């Protein structure tokens, strides 16, 4: 069961995460809590798979190179492959789609050469080919959403 603090962390800080040397202390002050309580709550949320990471989402190709990547993964392997892909620090997020290409993720690298190397490494690690879909036109999609967390 999620605590009141858990719910506030999940809803209020998907966006506008404090950019400061002590962001968790700043969050604690906003929520009338302590830094240790906030850190413990985030650790608990991560352990329960409510969150996978806390970090920035950088606009595509502003720093380095990035691309959307799609893979057609056998249903029986989907969780394994998704976990392998998520383990790469260069993967911004991944998600399942109802399509022949059922696993999609955003991959970031220092440059195009590193991007190609990472794709080849992921293909070798997972045993599945990957299709790179570089951005041709920029569209902004707000990935934050209000969670209905009423008990």
DSSP calls for 72-113? ---GGGHHHHHHHHHTSTTEEEEEE-SSSS-EEEEEEESSHH
- pTM of whole model > 0.85? no
Average pLDDT value over all residues in the chain = 89
The order of strands in the sheet holding 103-109 is: 91-96, 103-109, 65-71, 130-133
Confidence of residue 59 (pLDDT cuts 50, 70, 90): low
- pLDDT, residue 52, reads 80
Distance CA 79, CA 85 (A): 10
pLDDT tops 90 at residue 137: no
Residue 92 has pLDDT above 90, yes or no: no
Q: How confident is the model at residue 134 (pLDDT cuts 50, 70, 90)?
A: confident
pLDDT at 44: 94
Q: Which of 112, 105, 50, 45 is nearest to 81 (CA)?
A: 105
What confidence score (pLDDT) does residue 150 get? 63
Q: Where are the domains of the chain?
A: 4-47, 65-133
Q: How many CB atoms lie within 10 A of CB 141?
A: 4
Structurally, at CATH architecture level, domain 65-133 sits in 2-Layer Sandwich (3.30)
**70: helix, strand or coil:** strand
Q: How confident is the model at residue 124 (pLDDT cuts 50, 70, 90)?
A: very high
Q: What is the mean pLDDT of residues 114-123?
A: 97
Averaged pLDDT for residues 31-47: 95
Which pLDDT score, from 0 to 100, does residue 39 have? 96
């Amino acid at each position: 069961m999620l605590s009141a603090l858990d719910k506030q962390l999940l809803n209020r800080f998907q966006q506008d995460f404090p950019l400061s040397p002590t962001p968790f202390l700043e969050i604690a002050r906003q929520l009338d809590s302590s830094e240790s309580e906030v850190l413990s709550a985030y650790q608990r949320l991560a352990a329960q798979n409510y969150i996978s990471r806390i970090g920035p989402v950088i606009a595509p190709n502003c720093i380095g190179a990035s691309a959307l990547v799609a893979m057609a993964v056998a249903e029986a392997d989907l969780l394994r492959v998704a976990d392998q892909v998520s383990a790469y620090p260069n993967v911004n997020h991944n998600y399942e789609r109802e399509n022949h290409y059922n696993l999609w993720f955003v991959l970031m690298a220092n440059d195009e050469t590193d991007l190609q190397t990472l794709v080849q490494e992921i293909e070798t690690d997972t045993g599945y080919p990957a299709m790179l879909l570089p951005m041709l036109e920029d569209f902004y999609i707000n990935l934050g959403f209000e969670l209905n967390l009423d008990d």
